[in-house]
Structure 1
Amino acid sequence: MTAARHVAIIMDGNGRWAKQRHLPRALGHQRGVEAVRRTVRAARDLGLEALTLYAFSTENWTRPEEEVSALMGLMKKFILADLDEFAAAGVRLKIIGDYKAFAPDLVDLIEGALARTAGNSGTTLAVALNYGSQDEIARAARAAARAGEITPETIAAHLDTADLPPLDLLIRTSGEVRLSNFLLWQAAYAEMLFVDTLWPDFGADDLKAALDHFAGRERRYGGR
């Protein structure tokens, strides 16, 4: 059996969760934040080296302004409410994507959290903010060209995730079966698991079940 080191999750289904319950969409996002808390704690307890969460894509800017504003507010609350716990537990925060496009007060909070947890050696929580994989690959290719050689190895060395273990397992919740411009390069040989659970209902048991499922797979990397 093979243990996963790095798991990524496309956290999908907040809006549908709220709609099914005739609740405001914003409440679905709030419950989604609670699912983030549960999952990060579970990742730490289960010994994952890295957990990457797709929190805000480059395409999410096209959502209604009210919803985008609510998401930004939830990010602030999450950092303010949970940073002490995660820092004490040895969790290292990492951001992939261009978070500096956000409002200055949120950027300051993010950079403070990054600095505070930079020396931690436990689970790395990588949060994708204003992230798009095609843009990431293009940036990495340009950096590789400036360095003098474009190869799969030099591109990989310039990806936002270059300091993380290779991606083992990518999970998407809510029953959708697509990658939505998330970790396209990194997912080349990752195992994928698409589950019907809506993100606000996801928790420790779901993550453990996904890891057990991964451990039972035979990874061949194109060979026999």
Structure 2
Amino acid sequence: MFSTTLPLPLLINRYHPLPSPSPTAPPRVTLRDDGTLLAKESLPPELVAELMPNHVAVIMDGHGRWAKPRGLAATEGHRAGVESLTRMVMLCCSWGIEVLTVFACSTENLARPKKEVDFFMRLFETTAKSSMECMQMKGIRVCVIGDLSKVPESLQRTVARVEDVTKDNKKLQLIVALNYGGKYDVVQACKRVAMKVKDGAVDVEDINESIIEKELETKCTEFPNPGLLIRTSGELRVSNFLLWQLAYTELYFSPKFWPDFGKDDFVDALRSFQHRQRRFGGRH
């Protein structure tokens, strides 16, 4: 599930090994509107603008499995995933989607080999630093959710800087879940509500869904509950992601590994969403 998660127009050769990246040297970023990756995309005719979800969430899965048959290290799979995310971010900007939440690293992912975790954290940090200009230019606001107390302090500072620089952007809100878990999110929300009860700010009888939602990590957005969740790699589970927020989310599972998930795949997911009847527990 690891992925380098900030929007960078970094093209990846999918069939040949790439030079090993230096964790201390950020990937080179080119801002382009030349008809290729970053060009404005009109809404495909098979999609209806009025039926687009406000919030799309993505579990970007399959980086290592994409890399293995190509004779590449898992880290190269993470790097290749940048291309897919960049494309999706730009399509969301063009197609009127207001919030995109991506699962970059779960609380369970930190149990992976230390070498892989350390590489990912360094790469995430250098990528975040190098992409600030891109996000500012494109009007993308970045919010990072999760337990950042367990990530390197330098990364914490970088996250704070990126969030501050992009805080007034309105085109798209990109929420990156880093060291995040749905159970963690609910537990920390309950603790905050309990402290308010202890301090006399809230009565136990007044606790409701709204009060809890205001303490969840997704309180950073106007649209905390995704309309559509996409998971790649063929796995049919939500893996402890946004457990509260996904209560009535439409789920879409793609067999593609994340680095291979492209525009046509995104259109298929959105078209599936638009053909569903969303009843939210009621009858129509």
TM-score tier by shorter-chain length is: over 0.9
Aligned-partner SS, 1:188: coil
Task: Name the residue aligned to 1:61.
Answer: 110
Task: Name the residue aligned to 2:44.
Answer: none
Cα distance in 1 between the residues matched to 2:259 and 2:207: 41
Cα distance in 2 between the residues matched to 1:130 and 1:193: 23
Aligned-partner SS, 1:186: coil
State how 1:20-99 maps to structure 2 within 5 Å.
Answer: 20-99=69-148
The C-alpha deviation readout for 1:66-117, integer Å capped at 9, x for no partner, is: 1101211221232133221111111100111122421122111111100000
Does 1:154 find its partner at 2:211?
A: yes
CA contact (8 A) 2:248 2:280 kept: yes
For structure 1, which runs of at least 5 residues remain unmatched after alignment? none
**How many pairs does the alignment contain?**
224
Cα distance in 1 between the residues matched to 2:183 and 2:140: 28
Relative distance call for 1:91 and 1:109 in structure 2 (3 A) is: same
Give, in angstroms, the shift of residue 143 of structure 1.
Answer: 2.0
State how 1:130-141 maps to structure 2 within 5 Å.
Answer: 130-141=179-190
Cα distance in 2 between the residues matched to 1:35 and 1:67: 21
The C-alpha deviation readout for 1:155-177, integer Å capped at 9, x for no partner, is: 11211112331310011000001
Cα distance in 2 between the residues matched to 1:106 and 1:156: 27
Cα distance in 2 between the residues matched to 1:19 and 1:5: 35
Q: Give the counterpart of 1:108 among 152, 157, 163.
A: 157
CA contact (8 A) 2:104 2:178 kept: yes
Cα distance in 2 between the residues matched to 1:12 and 1:205: 18
Partner amino acid for 1:134? Answer: K
Aligned-partner SS, 2:217: coil
Cα distance in 1 between the residues matched to 2:77 and 2:146: 24
Give, in angstroms, the shift of residue 24 of structure 1.
Answer: 1.2
Relative distance call for 1:89 and 1:170 in structure 2 (3 A) is: same
Relative distance call for 1:74 and 1:203 in structure 2 (3 A) is: farther
Task: Name the residue aligned to 1:164.
Answer: 222
Q: Give the counterpart of 2:248 among 169, 189, 204.
A: 189
TM-score normalized by structure 2? 0.75
Cα distance in 1 between the residues matched to 2:55 and 2:68: 32
CA contact (8 A) 2:52 2:96 kept: no
Task: Name the residue aligned to 1:212.
Answer: 271
> Which is richer in helix?
1
CA contact (8 A) 1:141 1:150 kept: no
Aligned-partner SS, 2:218: coil
Kindly name which structure, 1 or 2, has the bigger radius of gyration based on alpha carbons: 2
For structure 2, which runs of at least 5 residues remain unmatched after alignment? 1-47, 197-201
Cα distance in 2 between the residues matched to 1:204 and 1:111: 31
Relative contact order (alpha carbons < 8 A, sep ≥ 6): 1 or 2 greater?
1
